[in-house]
Structure 1
Amino acid sequence: MAGEEGLKVVGFWVSPFVVRVKWALRMKGLEYEYIEEDIFNKTPLLSQLNPVHAKVPVLVHNGKPLAESLIILEYIDETWKHNPLLPADPYERARARFWAGFAEFKILNPSWEALWSKGKQQESAVNSAMEAIEKLEAELNGKQFFGGEKIGYLDLVVGWVAHNLPIFEEVASVKIFDSQKFPAIAEWKNRFLNHPIIKADLPDTEKAYAYFDKRSKELAASFYSAN
């Protein structure tokens, strides 16, 4: 069944970028059609909707496709004004965007590298992610959520820390997140994961572990055989 106003999401079940878009739509109470895309055997539809990168997620609204999850989140928030995700104050909105970019490049990227890398490369990636999480801990600053008293834009962006990061750590046998060192984020993780809207779209943990375990081995074999 097609979603509200022709809303469709093209995604891959375990992608944190796709999941955050699903969360945003649920936060707005919007119905949509979900189209699963095998990113390892891409259909012509994905290239048609996202010809530049041919990646998920893609949001389709009234036949118009939009790519890149952070851009999609802002589009959703600007198009449907109720239950706002971004702060109303321009300065606070800018800060939320800054921390979203910071989390993508300084936490997600090295955490992903730590998933499949080895030796000193992995150690460096772990240290980089930990240093960045320390800065994010300070930003939370005693709030219930990064969005204040309710889940907002930045919470959705860093939501993968609550669900995916423990899986990355287990697969790679590394420790990036220390609940004793980062108590504010540890408490936030519990609140976030227990929110009904968030729980509704969490990928199955066991299936996600199996996927990332296989993916990490493939990436490691490809990288280290070429270097």
Structure 2
Amino acid sequence: MSEPVVVVGGWASPFVTRVCIALKLKGVEYEFLQEAVGRKSELLLRSNPVHKKMPVLLHGGRPVCESLVILQYVDEAFPGSSILPDDPYHRAVHRFWAEYADAKLHTALRTMRGMVGGDKADAAEQVSAALRQLEDALAECSGGKPYFGGDDVGFLDIVVGSYIGWFGAAEKIAGLRVGVLDEASTPRLAAWAARFCAHEAVRDLMPDADRLVEFGEVLRAALAANVSSRP
């Protein structure tokens, strides 16, 4: 019997979503343990005592932390088509753009959602500028094929694609008239996003923008309640 696989996290987190997509691509069955909104379980804190963040992958009871590390672990630990490119140089390029996406998108999207301070319009422009860079990266990495990974979804597709639901949610929260993922400025990326969300390994895992907006309201209320209850 194979060792059990457990994902500890929250359905709305892009970092958790990407882990679930990778496991589904590999055909790995797993148990999903949903964290309570605004709280951290003892299992999470025990499994990731350094950063105290989700997601955590438990494989045979052994924890693997940080989503980019988990993706690479999943690629190496389970059989099936590779998520990362076989060529070392291309692997390095995909890792570079994955780090770039997380560095440029995560905080700016949180600002747009009102989760951290800052100007929402400026944050939206930061996201748009990053997506224009990723438009060029898509052309470079895909070689004219449908995905960053070529003929099928790969590592970089999973990383960038995990934010797609939050693009729409952040736009609604910020009250933008024009979306950050705009067909006029990033046509390749817009077409790629539609393909990615329709992929059989993705479509049941990609959160809906309206549901994410509702989640954002619940999260803000939960965090505010936690702050007010502190002595």
What TM-score, normalized by structure 2, do the two folds share? 0.86
Q: Does 1:177 align with 2:187?
A: no
1:165-186 CA-partner distances (Å, limit 9, x unpaired): 1111111112422111100011
1:2-33 CA-partner distances (Å, limit 9, x unpaired): x9422111111211111110000000000111
Letter in 2 for 1:171: I
Letter in 1 for 2:109: S
Distance change (3 Å), C-alpha of 1:173 and 1:218: farther
Contact 2:110 2:116 survives alignment (8 Å): no
Partners of 1:185 and 1:218 in 2: CA distance: 34
| Greater fraction helix | 1
Partners of 2:172 and 2:84 in 1: CA distance: 33
The answer for the alignment partner of 1:225 in structure 2 is none
1:147-200 CA-partner distances (Å, limit 9, x unpaired): 111100001001134322111111111242211110001100110111111012
Distance change (3 Å), C-alpha of 1:4 and 1:109: farther
Distance change (3 Å), C-alpha of 1:64 and 1:144: same
The answer for the alignment partner of 2:65 in structure 1 is 67
The answer for the alignment partner of 1:143 in structure 2 is 145
Contact 1:26 1:197 survives alignment (8 Å): yes
Choose which of 157, 160, 164 in structure 1 pairs with 2:159: 157
The answer for the alignment partner of 1:16 in structure 2 is 14
Contact 2:138 2:189 survives alignment (8 Å): yes
The answer for the alignment partner of 1:34 in structure 2 is 32
The answer for the alignment partner of 1:7 in structure 2 is 5
Distance apart, 1:116 and its partner CA? 1.1
Distance change (3 Å), C-alpha of 1:82 and 1:210: same
1:122-149 CA-partner distances (Å, limit 9, x unpaired): 2221222211111100111143111111
Partners of 1:17 and 1:55 in 2: CA distance: 10
3-state SS of paired residue (1:66): strand
Letter in 2 for 1:60: L
Distance change (3 Å), C-alpha of 1:147 and 1:17: same
Contact 1:116 1:219 survives alignment (8 Å): no
The answer for the alignment partner of 2:197 in structure 1 is 193
Partners of 2:151 and 2:91 in 1: CA distance: 16
Distance change (3 Å), C-alpha of 1:173 and 1:57: same
Contact 1:39 1:55 survives alignment (8 Å): no
Q: Does 1:102 align with 2:100?
A: yes
Distance change (3 Å), C-alpha of 1:192 and 1:169: same
Unaligned runs of 5+ in 2: 225-231
Partners of 1:167 and 1:124 in 2: CA distance: 17
What TM-score, normalized by structure 1, do the two folds share? 0.88
